[in-house]
Amino acid sequence: MSGPPLRVVLAQPRGFCAGVERAIEIVERALQRFGPPVYVRHEIVHNRHVVETLESKGARFVDEVDQIPEGAVTVFSAHGVAASVERAAGRRQLEVIDAACPLVTKVHNEGQRYAAKGFEVVLIGHAGHPEVEGTMGRIDGRVHLISAAGEVEALQPADPDKLAFVTQTTLSVDDTRAVIEALRQRFPMIVGPDTRDICYATQNRQTAVRALAAEVDVILVVGARNSSNSNRLREIGASCGTPSHLIDSAEKLDRAWLEGATTVGVTAGASAPESLVQGVIAALRAHRDVTVETLAGIEENVHFRLPAQLAGPRAMAAAS
Ligand code: SF4
């Protein structure tokens, strides 16, 4: 052992959310029911390890539907897709199973309702994220994308009194509140769901990382670089004054981060499997005498129904 004993404190909750579990199960069940290959547009969730595991079972990941053979079984990712993607899939007669998280679909529906009433919609989210592209492509009307309070001033809606907002599901609750406040200052008539579009899993993991930050010397967030909710966890840990690092697996652990630390907090983004968290703990054990405990936190009990095409019991082969 090359350092003093290390207390590892795990955040509760951490890791997989109900939308990610459902999306992975959809691909696994589709493989079982229809046989490989099953095509998946985009990473089913933002995690390379999840993608590689599904690839090894026969899933094929593509960027766009025109890379999929006509008529093939196709899964859309948990982030949701634009209506144009659905139309393109229809033209290729793809057998589509939509793994969009129901909480993303809820935001699509909100945006559509506002647009149908003649509102222009401000979408608070990050440009280039697939969920944002999907949401923008679902709203039939003008959508203004902003990500920070400083961008509110530049908005030029046709009618400032007919403006609504919706948000990406995986934002920082505090940052989003600041953007909404700026919107309300400039457009007092604006309507929207406050921060309620930010999903339960994102909110709970952010609450947990704040509690973790108060307890530990350094925080490790297990999650992918392109995972929005994982990045927000790292930012929140750091904003609480605790050095925080985002790593996608144990191989990225830098021992220099732990120099002088006697307590390390570990959490994981909603798309990071628990096996990666356990891998990080194993890597820590290789160098330090480690004890592990879990911080008290919210117990989640959320499950989403599978699409009708895949409902019913799993076959024995998949259960084993
Ligand atoms: S992070 Fe939230 S919105 Fe995204 S898949 Fe999980 S539950 Fe759904």
How many angstroms separate the alpha carbon of residue 301 from the centre of ligand 1?
Answer: 14
pLDDT of res. 320? 31
Q: Is the CB of 167 under 6 A from ligand 1?
A: no
E runs forming strands in the chain: 6-10, 38-41, 59-62, 73-76, 95-98, 120-124, 143-146, 163-167, 218-222, 244-247, 263-268, 290-294
For residues 46 and 227, the answer to whether their CB atoms sit within 8 Å is yes
pLDDT of res. 317? 42
**Catalytic position from the list 28, 43, 110, 131:** 131
CA-based Rg of the chain, rounded to a whole angstrom? Answer: 21
Q: Is the CB of 130 under 6 A from ligand 1?
A: no
Catalytic site includes residue 110: no
Indicate the length of the chain as a whole number: 320
Q: Which of 14, 129, 135, 199, when mutated, tests ligand 1's pocket best, judged by the most ligand atoms within 8 Å of its CB?
A: 199
Which residue has its alpha carbon closest to ligand 1 atom 5? 19
What is the C-alpha to C-alpha distance for residues 21 and 249, in angstroms, rounded to an integer? 19
N-term to C-term CA, the chain = 38
Q: Is the CB of 30 under 6 A from ligand 1?
A: no
Q: Which atom of ligand 1 is nearest to the CA of 229?
A: 1
Question: Which residues does residue 59 pair with via DSSP β-bridges, in sequence order?
Answer: 38
Which residue has its alpha carbon closest to ligand 1 atom 6? 19
The percent helix, strand, coil of the chain (3-state, each to 5) is 40, 20, 40
Which residue has its alpha carbon closest to ligand 1 atom 2? 199
The model's pTM:
0.94
**Secondary structure (3-state) at 85:** helix
Residue written as tokens 């025109």?
66
Q: Is the CB of 99 under 6 A from ligand 1?
A: no
Enter the tokens of residue 207: 């609450």
Query: How many C-beta atoms surround the C-beta of residue 43 within 10 A?
Result: 21
Q: Which residues contact 91 (CB under 8 A, 6 or more apart)?
A: none
Question: Which residues does residue 284 pair with via DSSP β-bridges, in sequence order?
Answer: none
Q: Is the CB of 50 under 6 A from ligand 1?
A: no
pLDDT of res. 292? 98
Q: How far is CA 111 from CA 47, 102, 119, 134, in A?
A: 28, 14, 9, 12
The HSE-up count of residue 177 (CA atoms within 13 Å, CB side) is 4
pLDDT of res. 3? 78
What is the C-alpha to C-alpha distance for residues 280 and 248, in angstroms, rounded to an integer? 10
Q: What is the mean pLDDT of each run of 10 residues along the chain (320 residues)?
A: 88 98 98 97 94 98 97 97 98 98 98 98 97 98 97 98 97 96 98 96 97 98 95 97 97 95 98 97 96 97 95 55
Q: Write the DSSP assignment of 45-62 as a string of letters.
A: SS-HHHHHHHHHTTEEEE
Q: Is the CB of 228 under 6 A from ligand 1?
A: no
